[in-house]
Amino acid sequence: MQRLTGAQILCESLIKEGVDTIFGMPGGAIIPLYDTLFQYPFRHILCRHEQGASHMADGYARITGNVGVCLGTSGPGATNLVTGIATAMMDSVPMVAITGQVPTYMIGKDAFQETDTTGITMPITKHNYLVMDVKDLARVIKEAFHIARTGRPGPVLIDIPKDVTTNTAIYEYPTKVNLPGFKPKLQGHSKQVRQAARMIEQAKKPLIIAGHGIILSGAYSELRAFAEKTQVPVLTTLLGISGFPETHPLYLGWPGMHGMYYANMAISHTDCLIAVGMRMDDRVTGRLNAFAPHAQIIHIDIDPAELGKNVRTAVPIVGDAKNVLEALLEEVKPGHHPEWMQTLSQWRIEHPSLALPAKAETMSSPWIVRELYHATEGKAVLVTDVGQAQMWAAQHYFFERPNTHITSGGLGPMGYALPAAIGVQLGKPEEEVWCVTGDGGFQMTLEELSVLVEEKLPVKIALFNNGYLGMVRQWQQLFYDRRYSGVKMWNPDFVKLGEAYSIPTIRVAHVDGVRAAFEWARAVEGPAMIEFVVDAEENVFPMVPPGASLQETIESAEDLAPKMQQVAVAAGSDQGGV
C-alpha cells in the first residue's frame, strides 16, 4: 500500500470511479490539487465562471448518465457553483462537486476566500462532506459517487481544505460503502403492483404521465411496451420529453403551464392517472385542488417522499421506474379504450395547440423552432435555456430519440443552455447539439463561448433575440396591465460578439432566411451562432395562468379577456402562485 497526498488520493479515486472529464477553474485553495491533476490523464475543461462548470457537469451527466464532476476553489469558487448544484438537485442529476477550502487550522477564522461551503450547500445537495482528515478522503469519495448515482440521483459536494490535499495517507480505495441510512428501494411492492394493474384494467379513461424518471432509469422500451399493451395514452412532463417517441400514436404531448390544451383536458378528465418518475411539480399540476379531479392516482417514484407530497395517491409504488414498469407490464392485461381515444382526438382536432402555418409571415419563434425540427429531421439534441425559447423548443420540436431534450425544469436558471450544451457535446461528440436560448439567458453565461472555441466543440447556437426578458414581459402583458417593468434590454451586436470569439455568426431578421441559416450552421465545421431577430411581443400559448387550474388553459391573450378576468386578478395577487 502506498502513501499518497490528498490530491493524489482524489485523482486516483476519480479514475476508479470512471471519471474522465472534469469541469472547473483553479484558485488559491486548490493549487496543490491542480498541480496533481496536471499529472493525470483527465480531460480538464476550463470554465470561465464556476456556474458554467456546474452546468457543464450537469449537461455531461444528463447525456451520458454518468456522474458529472465539477471543481472550484474555496469561497467565490464554491458560491459560483451553487446555481448549478441547485439545478442538479431539483432535476435529480448525478453530480459530484469538489470545492477547495482554506486549511483546516484557518477554518472559522474568516480567512481569505473562506466560506462555510457545506453550510451553504446543505439544502441543495443530496449530501455533502467537509473532509478534515486525509485518512477519510478515499472513503468519502467512494460514498459521494455512490450517493450521487444511486436511488434518486442528485449532487453531492466534497469540501477539501488545502492542507488535506497536501497531507499524506495510506491509500486504499474501499470496495464497499457502509451507509446504514441510505438504502433506496428499487423494486416495487408486488401487492401494490397488482393493485395498480387491476385499477388500470378497470379504468375507462386511463392516462400515463411520464417524467424524468423514465430517462434516468432508461425505461424507454418498458414505457412503450406498457403503453402499447394497455393502449393507454402517454403524456410526458417537461423533463420527461424524449422519454417516449413524440410521433407515436399514443403520445399526447405534455401538460401544465405551457402544455397542450388536450393534454391538460386529458388530466382533467382521466379516471386513472398513472404517474411514473415525476414529482407533481406545480408547473405540471396547476391549481392543486382542481388537479385530476376524477382520477384515482397511481404514483410510481423512487423517492418515497414524493408520494403524497403534493397530491393524494390511491396506489403509491416506491421503486425504480424501469423495474416497476417491467413488473406492471407483466401483471396487467391488454386493454383498449376506443371511446376515450375518440374524445382525445376530438380535443386535438378542436384545439390543436401546436398548429403552425407552413410559412410564417413574420419572425415567429415557434415557427423558427419548427424549421429547426425540419432542418435537423428531428434528430438533433436540443439543450434549451429558461423562458419563452425553452417553452417553444419543447412545444414545436418533436423529439423522437431517447434523451435528446436537455433542459432545466425545477430551478429554472437562465444561462443554463450554453454551458450545459458544452457538457452535452463533450459527453456525446457524435451528436448534433443545438443550444436554444434567448437574448436574456444567453447573456448570463456567454463567457463560456471561449470554451466552445478552445475545445473545438461544434455546438450550434440558435439565439432568439426579442429584446426583452420575454417570459416576464408576457406575464406583465397578461397579468400586470402591460406595465413592462425591467424587461426591455439593450443588447450588444451579437454578430460582432460572435466574431470577437471567432465563432461564425449570422443574423436573420426575415423569414426567408431562416431555413438557409440552419443549413449554413449545420455546414459549419465547428461552433456557429445564428441570431434570430424575432417578433418582440410574441407570447407562449397555450398557458395555464398562475393560480388557475388545468381546465382553465387559455390559447390566446383574447381568451384571457372576458372569462379569465378573475384568474388574472388572482395571478397578480399573492394567491396566484408563482
Between CA 26 and CA 46 the distance in angstroms is 9
* Cβ-proximal residues to 193 (8 Å cutoff; 6+ apart), any chain: 317, 324, 327, 328, 331
Nearer to another protein by Cβ, of 140 and 207: the residue is: 140
Between CA 191 and CA 188 the distance in angstroms is 9
Is 108 a residue that touches another protein (CB under 8 A)?
no
Is 318 a residue that touches another protein (CB under 8 A)?
yes
Least distance from C-beta 290 to another protein, angstroms? 19
* Cβ-proximal residues to 41 (8 Å cutoff; 6+ apart), any chain: 20
Is 127 a residue that touches another protein (CB under 8 A)?
yes
Stretches 117-125, 271-279, 385-393, 428-436: which one binds another protein (CB under 8 A)?
A: 117-125
| Chain residues 269-298 in contact with another protein, contact rule CB under 8 A | none
Contact (Cβ atoms closer than 8 angstroms) between residue 210 and residue 244 = yes
Please choose, from the candidates 519, 505, 241, 243, the residue with its C-alpha nearest in 3D space to the C-alpha of residue 377: 519
Is 180 a residue that touches another protein (CB under 8 A)?
yes
Is 123 a residue that touches another protein (CB under 8 A)?
yes
Is 305 a residue that touches another protein (CB under 8 A)?
yes
Question: Looking at 303, 331, 400, 455, which residue binds another protein (CB under 8 A)?
Answer: 303
Least distance from C-beta 143 to another protein, angstroms? 8
Query: Which stretches of 115-230 are assigned E, i.e. beta strand?
Result: 127-130, 155-161, 168-171, 206-210
Is 119 a residue that touches another protein (CB under 8 A)?
yes
Between CA 66 and CA 69 the distance in angstroms is 9
Nearer to another protein by Cβ, of 218 and 304: the residue is: 304
Tell me the sheet residues that pair with 22: 44
If you compute the radius of gyration of the chain from its CA atoms, what whole number of angstroms results?
24
Question: Looking at 181, 334, 357, 486, which residue binds another protein (CB under 8 A)?
Answer: 181
* Cβ-proximal residues to 227 (8 Å cutoff; 6+ apart), any chain: 208, 233, 234, 244, 248, 250
Is 578 a residue that touches another protein (CB under 8 A)?
no
Stretches 1-9, 104-112, 175-183, 431-439: which one binds another protein (CB under 8 A)?
A: 175-183
Q: Any idea which residues carry the catalytic annotation?
A: 50, 112-113, 162, 471
Amino acid at 364: S
Between CA 57 and CA 576 the distance in angstroms is 35
Contact (Cβ atoms closer than 8 angstroms) between residue 560 and residue 568 = yes
* Cβ-proximal residues to 39 (8 Å cutoff; 6+ apart), any chain: 11
Is 514 a residue that touches another protein (CB under 8 A)?
no
Work out the number of other CB atoms within 10 angstroms of the CB of residue 482. Answer: 10
Is 189 a residue that touches another protein (CB under 8 A)?
yes
Per-position x/- string for 416-445, each x denoting binding to another protein as judged by CB under 8 A, each - no binding:
------------------------------
Question: Nine-digit cell at 504?
Answer: 461564425
Question: Nine-digit cell at 388?
Answer: 419563452
Query: What is the maximum alpha-carbon separation in the chain?
Result: 77
Question: Looking at 49, 55, 62, 126, which residue binds another protein (CB under 8 A)?
Answer: 126
Is 164 a residue that touches another protein (CB under 8 A)?
no
Residue 383 has φ and ψ, to the nearest 5°, of: -110, 115
Nearer to another protein by Cβ, of 29 and 318: the residue is: 318
Nearer to another protein by Cβ, of 29 and 317: the residue is: 317
Nearer to another protein by Cβ, of 306 and 448: the residue is: 306
Is 118 a residue that touches another protein (CB under 8 A)?
yes
| Chain residues 190-219 in contact with another protein, contact rule CB under 8 A | 192
Nearer to another protein by Cβ, of 122 and 500: the residue is: 122
- Pairing of the two strands 272-276 and 43-46: unpaired
Stretches 94-102, 122-130, 467-475, 518-526: which one binds another protein (CB under 8 A)?
A: 122-130
Concatenate the DSSP letters of all residues of 325-355 into one string: HHHHHHHSPP---HHHHHHHHHHHHH--SS-
Nearer to another protein by Cβ, of 98 and 252: the residue is: 98
Nearer to another protein by Cβ, of 304 and 504: the residue is: 304
Contact (Cβ atoms closer than 8 angstroms) between residue 316 and residue 299 = yes
Stretches 18-26, 71-79, 312-320, 516-524: which one binds another protein (CB under 8 A)?
A: 312-320
| Chain residues 144-163 in contact with another protein, contact rule CB under 8 A | 147
Question: Looking at 316, 427, 498, 527, which residue binds another protein (CB under 8 A)?
Answer: 316
Helix (H) / strand (E) element for 87: namely helix 76-90
Residues found near another protein in the complex (CB under 8 A): 118-119, 122-123, 126-127, 130, 147, 179-182, 189, 192, 303-305, 307-309, 315-318
